[in-house]
Structure 1
Amino acid sequence: MPDCKEIAALIKGWDDILVICHENPDGDALGSMFGLVRGLRSMGKRAGWYCASPLPRKFAYLEQGLSGEDFAPAHILTVDVADSKLLGDAWEKFGDGIELAIDHHSIHRPFVDVRWVDPESAATAEMVWLLLKELGAKPDIQTLGCLYTGIVTDTGCFRYRNVTPRTLRLAAELLELGAPAGDINKNIFENKNLAAVRAEVMELNTLEVFCEGKCSMIQIPRSIIESTGADEGDMDGSVGRAAAEIEGVLLFVSLKEKEDGSIKASLRATPPANAAAIAQRFGGGGHVGAAGCPLEGMDMAEARLKMMEVCEEYLKEIGSI
């Protein structure tokens, strides 16, 4: 597998580049995508972006001041995409032309020949920052903010176990160069509108604890979003973090009903539990500490019972109950 230097050498010869992230994007996906696009443009390259989902409102600043480019891409790459299934309609539109995947997921499922995958990176944005430095790009404040956003969101503001000494050094470099860390932290972790707070209260009322106190679960039916008027992107998961942090809980599950009625599960885990091990049983994936998966063909009631069953089976397998 190529390393950062080899990927930089490859991209140096490219122009008219399209950067794609996964659908339902988080801060790392968007920070990596917009950070790379901005960095490539600082080198005089023409670069654009695509995401199959709308940009969450709280991450709108990542795109601010970045004009669109109307061109036929000569080269296409993905960032933070662990599986082609996560690309949404981007796979149908651009799948045949994707030449490179840059990702940090340990369960990356190859969908292109050239891949730079580094599970030791806490965020794909770490890799993008290393790449831009290798390319000799000259990042502006907006670029630095994008990359900081990617790192701070995928590390839970440097609280998660995926944080390494390199993670902190790279984040410090971004701050030294001018990344507005305080503003970004407040925007992501502290700013909430009233509708989102009301939605979170309703989420918390669904809280259940089971498996001898080793698992917690909340449910987010569409009725919560519709009745409160909350924007999905404004619901930052603070209820989930609170439920996951209950003393003794090893596995936390959030079940969310999408607009089409399908159910998506988001999981968090504390050692010795592995969130990805649960998600993979439903065709999903992610990291040891955080993962996600679809629960196909189930309504909320069915998804709740099935996830309870699988979590109990898994905790018995690893000897935790």
Structure 2
Amino acid sequence: MDRRGDAKSREMMLDELLGYDHVTIQCHDNPDADAIASGYGLYCFFRDKGKDTRLLYSGRNKVRKANLMLMVEKLHIPLEYQPQMEDTVDGLLITVDCQYGAGNVTELPAEEIAVIDHHPLEVICTERMRLQPNMGSCATLVWTMLQEMHYPVEKNRDLGTALYYGLYMDTNQFSELSNPMDMDMRESLNFDKNQISLFRNSNISLRELEIAGVAMLRCNYNDDYQF
């Protein structure tokens, strides 16, 4: 594989990863809506295939943003925070919206690794990679892979809402849509408009608003250096 990724890596199918009884899906540290949505899509697929499946993230900080906490709660996403893991991951570890060994994801000990990501290649860590950086969100890539498996995304409204919100957030409220697959997913998803409105309007909590207000009231300005 060269640093652009080869055709084989882009064509990896989800059924190639069904040989494991235990599947752990890892989002990057400080996961955003797209990482959570992408991980949830994979979680639903492997869970429905009868696999012992976990969805987690690591790093120094837990998810605390109001919109993400609401997303996890309202869409019943079983996202776990795993600050450290000394034992080797049992079965297969899939990093989603990130690449195993890259700087934005804690490297959990694992013998079997797969990567699903919409960013350019950063680390060559396994032959089981699917990278499609032309897509606006990793949610779109996961949706595409689920479509290839004829997985009934439309029957799971929570999943459809998560994927829609992941694309919405990763494309600056759809203003950066360019890939036809992004548009196809947006038009086909069964999602809850009320939940999307709730997440969209909950980017800052009342407590965070209070902190920001105090900081602005107590700010100091340096005339000499203009900061």
Asked if Structure 1 and Structure 2 have the same fold, meaning a TM-score greater than 0.5 normalized by the shorter chain, the answer is: yes
Q: Distance in 1 between matches of 2:130 and 2:111?
A: 17
Tell me, yes or no, if structure 1 residue 59 matches structure 2 residue 68: yes
- Which of 105, 110, 114 is the equivalent residue of 1:87? 105
Q: Does 1:77 align with 2:94?
A: yes
What is the CA distance between 1:195 and its match in structure 2? 2.5
Counterpart residue type for residue 80 of structure 1: D
Partner of 2:3: none
The residue that corresponds to 2:162 in the other structure is 146
> Which residue pairs with 1:40 in the alignment?
46
Q: In 2, Cα distance between the equivalents of 1:194 and 1:116?
A: 40
Compute the TM-score of the two structures, normalised by the length of structure 1. 0.54
Counterparts of 1:149 and 1:110, CA distance in 2: 29
Structure 1 residue 68, shift from structure 2 partner: 8.1
Do the aligned partners of 1:23 and 1:51 also contact (CA within 8 Å) in 2?
yes
TM-score (norm 2): 0.73
3-state DSSP class of the match of 2:151? coil
Q: Which residue of 1 aligns with 2:144?
A: 130
Give the structure 1 partner of residue 205 of structure 2.
Answer: 193
**Alpha-carbon displacement from aligned partner over 1:243-278 (angstroms, at most 9, x marks no partner):** xxxxxxxxxxxxxxxxxxxxxxxxxxxxxxxxxxxx
Q: How does 1:285-304 map to 2 (within 5 A)?
A: none
Letter in 2 for 1:132: L
CA-CA distance at 1:179 after TM superposition: 1.2
From 23, 34, 37, the counterpart of 1:17? 23
- Other-structure match for 1:233: none
Where do residues 1-321 of structure 1 align in structure 2 (5 Å cutoff)? Answer: 1=6, 2=8, 6-52=12-58, 53-56=61-64, 57-60=66-69, 61-62=71-72, 64-66=75-77, 73-82=90-99, 84-88=102-106, 91=107, 93-94=108-109, 96-106=110-120, 108-139=122-153, 140-160=156-176, 162-174=177-189, 178-184=190-196, 186-191=197-202, 192-201=204-213
Q: Is the 8 A contact 1:43 1:137 kept in 2?
A: no
Q: Which runs of 5+ in 2 are unaligned?
A: 1-5, 81-88, 222-226
Identity %: 20
Bigger shift: 39-48 or 73-82? 39-48
User: 1:182: how far off?
Assistant: 4.2
Deviation at 1:80, TM superposition (A): 0.6
CA contact (8 A) 1:148 1:181 kept: no
1:108–1:117 Cα contact (<8 Å) kept = no
Rounded to whole Å, the distance in 1 between the matches of 2:10 and 2:124 is 18
Q: Secondary structure at the match of 2:13?
A: helix
Quick check: 2:10–2:131 contact (8 Å CA) kept in 1? Answer: no
* Structure 1 unaligned regions, length at least 5: 209-304, 306-321
Letter in 2 for 1:115: M
Equivalent position amino acid for 1:87 in 2: V
Using the alignment, how far apart are the partners of 1:78 and 1:199 within structure 2? 34
Q: RMSD of aligned C-alpha atoms?
A: 3.0
SS in 2 for 1:121: coil
Answer 1 or 2: higher relative contact order, Cα 8 Å, separation at least 6.
2
SS of corresponding position for 1:97? strand
| DSSP-derived class of the 2:173 partner | coil
